[in-house]
Amino acid sequence: MSNLFKNRTATAMLIGEEGPIFDNEDWMYEVKFDGVRCLAYLNEETDLRNKRNIMVSSIYPELSKIHAQVNRPCILDGELIVVSNGKPVFAEMQRRALMVNPVKIRLAAERLPVTYVVFDILWLDGKELLWEPLTERKKLLNETVHESNRLAISATFDQGVALYDLVVQQELEGIVAKRRDSPYRMGKRTKDWYKAKRMLDDDYIVCGYINKGQGLVSIVIAQYSLNYNLQYKGHVTMGIKNPDFEYIKRQKTLKNPPLNIPGGHGNERAVWIEPELVCRVEFMEYLRGGSLRQPAFRGLRNDKTPIECLEKQLP
């Protein structure tokens, strides 16, 4: 058994580019699921690891037996999703990812169980597959995994534009294009994987909040510059009854803002907190100065650290 499996040292390959979709016979296309990335080590038990290589199996008891659905020991790459009304719901998935209470976890697993949608295989029965072309890895994946309601294989398509049109129609997140001959580059952000999303999104650091009244609160968000200074990126509104806000309110408060804030943004009414939480924000487009058009809060995430939230170098 290679060290990759034994030492749990695999890291996820990352998408390197984003933009409009295209058709090309050298590429294959998949739906981009709105969930949480996860590697699975499957042998005599199920060991799930998030992008920070933290074991998260106990959070998803409904997936504890998926190792029985593979015919050989393997390392799989995929997305954990919660489906409600026929669509993945990121907010529900993030709520699960932050749970620690075993009773609440069990109830959530019964109410809206998680499904693991796999799209790649890194290791199989003692052999690393990292340098095998994607087409071969897909073939081995389909030969290895027996699907169920809790473990599914991501379908692939030959036509990117048609798939994207269907995704937009169904109001799903987007699609991913992958070069058919691409190897699996662990931990690398590579142009061999390309995404086209219905809306843009990015990860931001929560620095504080301002009560707006009428059941709403404005979250102050930031990202690090390339020299690792916190840069103000605006506000995003959320409801005070959102469970994520309850979590934000429990963070350690600061007397002064942890970053420079432009005047006229409600600074005097803000509650500042340690910049340790990361949230996902969806928006229509970047505006001048890096602010966001029509931002929407989409949940806290514990699989990413604040230092990973780097501002985009916009034209």
Q: Is the pLDDT assigned to residue 49 strictly greater than 60?
A: yes
Q: What is the mean pLDDT of the segment spanning 55-62? A: 96
Which pLDDT score is estimated for 2? 61
Q: Is the pLDDT assigned to residue 222 strictly greater than 60?
A: yes
Q: Is the pLDDT assigned to residue 13 strictly greater than 90?
A: yes
Q: What is the mean pLDDT of the segment spanning 32-54? A: 94
For 48, phi then psi, to 5°, come to: -100, 135
Which pLDDT score is estimated for 150? 97
Q: Is the pLDDT assigned to residue 157 strictly greater than 80?
A: yes
Tokens representing 149 are 């309601």
Q: What is the mean pLDDT of the segment spanning 287-295? A: 78
How many CB atoms are closer than 10 A to CB 70? 22
Tell me: the pLDDT tens digits for 135-146? 999 999 999 999
Which pLDDT score is estimated for 125? 95
**CA–CA separation, 162 vs 148, rounded Å?**
27
Nearest to 297 by CA among 248, 263, 258: 248
Nearest to 93 by CA among 110, 118, 114, 76: 114
Which pLDDT score is estimated for 94? 82
- The four Cα atoms 74, 78, 83, 86 give a dihedral, to 10 degrees, of -100
Which pLDDT score is estimated for 87? 87
Which pLDDT score is estimated for 43? 96
Q: Is the pLDDT assigned to residue 273 strictly greater than 90?
A: yes
Which pLDDT score is estimated for 161? 96
Tokens representing 218 are 């404005």
Give the pLDDT band of residue 271 (cuts 50, 70, 90): very high
